[in-house]
């Protein structure tokens, strides 16, 4: 795809972050919002000129995007925004489902009263965030909800694995949260997870967690198929 850089791409400066991180956050947000489209070229010179920086932080930011699965480098062509595929999504969510269910089981035994109180507060925080149009804020509240469960396991190795997976999950999470029709289901699932943890009911928590991930997979798969239909209408209709 020939690059057609969005005119709205501007650097979101943060005095406390290295320049490469500022560039990374700017490009990441543009990809997640759909301002930089799947398959769009990420040309260092063009991005450097657009953002008013040298090529070095651009190159470093692209490497960071690759680690999150948001960009890919193609030999003799260069970097481009990664396309979302069903296979990639299924691979990531399959691992997430297994680790989330494991974390839920351990949390049933380990979670403290303070962590339960924090989880309830975060559940309400998520519900409030859905009343805004800020998908980033909604996604952050959802991440925070799950992070409390992960931390409650007291297993740093499991938490580290889930944190590494979270970066690869983020794009699919944002796609899921762009559709406000999913919010009632999400809120009910969060409530059921909390109730299961309060009762220390492993079956309830793990079954809800399983359905939680499955619903996301089904919804995102439909979105990916819809995007492919728009990009390749002739091939998809054969």
Choose among 18, 69, 22, 83: nearest CA to 47: 22
Q: Is the Cα torsion angle 217, 219, 182, 167 positive or negative in sign? A: positive
The answer to whether residues 59 and 131 belong to one domain is no
Where does residue 5 fall: left (phi above 0), alpha (psi -120 to 50 degrees), or beta otherwise? beta
235 domain-assigned: no
Q: What is the mean pLDDT of residues 32-43?
A: 87
The answer to whether residues 47 and 91 belong to one domain is no
DSSP-derived 3-state class of residue 2: coil
The answer to whether residues 113 and 164 belong to one domain is yes
Between these two residues, 100 and 5, which has the higher pLDDT value?
Answer: 100
151 domain-assigned: yes
Give the CATH number for residue 53. 1.10.10.10
What whole-number percentage of the chain has pLDDT above 70?
A: 91
Residue 208: pLDDT band (50, 70, 90) is very high
The answer to whether residues 73 and 97 belong to one domain is no
For 51, the domain range is: 19-81
pLDDT of 207 higher than 50: yes
The answer to whether residues 74 and 95 belong to one domain is no
Q: What are phi and psi of 6, to 5 degrees?
A: -60, 140
The answer to whether residues 132 and 55 belong to one domain is no
- For residue 78, the surrounding DSSP H or E stretch is strand 78-81
The number of domains in the chain is: 2
Say if CB 3 and CB 38 are below 8 A apart. no
Residue 103 pLDDT: 97
Residue 3 pLDDT: 47
| Domain end point (choices 39, 56, 81) | 81
The answer to whether residues 153 and 64 belong to one domain is no
Question: Residues 162-189: pLDDT tens digits?
Answer: 988 887 788 888 889 989 999 999 999 9
pLDDT of 147 higher than 80: yes
Q: How many residues can be counted in the chain?
A: 238
pLDDT of 2 higher than 80: no
Q: What is the mean pLDDT of residues 92-100?
A: 92
Whole-structure pTM value: 0.77
Say if CB 186 and CB 208 are below 8 A apart. no
The answer to whether residues 152 and 176 belong to one domain is yes
Give the CATH number for residue 225. 1.20.120.530
The answer to whether residues 77 and 90 belong to one domain is no
The answer to whether residues 107 and 38 belong to one domain is no
pLDDT of 35 higher than 70: yes
Burial of 207 per CB tally in 10 Å (0-12, 13-18, 19+): middle
The set of residues, in sequence order, having a beta carbon less than 8 Å from that of 203 and lying 6+ positions away, is 196
114 domain-assigned: yes
Between these two residues, 37 and 150, which has the higher pLDDT value?
Answer: 150
């Amino acid at each position: 795809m020939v690059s057609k850089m969005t005119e709205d791409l501007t650097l979101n400066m943060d005095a406390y972050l290295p320049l490469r991180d500022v560039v990374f956050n700017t490009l990441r947000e543009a990809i997640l919002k759909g301002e930089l489209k799947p398959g769009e070229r990420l040309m260092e010179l063009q991005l450097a000129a657009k953002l008013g920086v040298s090529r070095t932080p651009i190159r470093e930011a692209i490497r960071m995007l690759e680690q999150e699965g948001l960009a890919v480098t193609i030999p003799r062509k260069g970097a481009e925004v990664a396309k979302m595929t069903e296979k990639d999504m299924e691979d990531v969510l399959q691992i997430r489902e297994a680790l989330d269910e494991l974390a839920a089981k351990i949390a049933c035994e380990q979670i403290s009263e303070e962590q339960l109180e924090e989880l309830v507060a975060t559940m309400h925080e998520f519900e409030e965030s859905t009343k805004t149009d800020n998908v980033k804020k909604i996604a952050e509240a959802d991440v925070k909800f799950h992070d409390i469960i992960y931390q409650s396991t007291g297993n740093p190795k499991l938490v580290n694995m889930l944190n590494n997976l979270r970066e690869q999950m983020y794009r699919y999470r944002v796609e899921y949260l762009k559709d406000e029709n999913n919010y009632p289901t999400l809120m009910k699932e969060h409530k059921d997870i909390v109730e299961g943890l309060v009762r220390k009911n492993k079956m309830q928590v793990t079954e809800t967690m399983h359905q939680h991930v499955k619903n996301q997979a089904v919804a995102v798969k439909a979105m990916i198929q819809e995007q492919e239909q728009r990009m390749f209408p002739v091939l998809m209709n054969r």
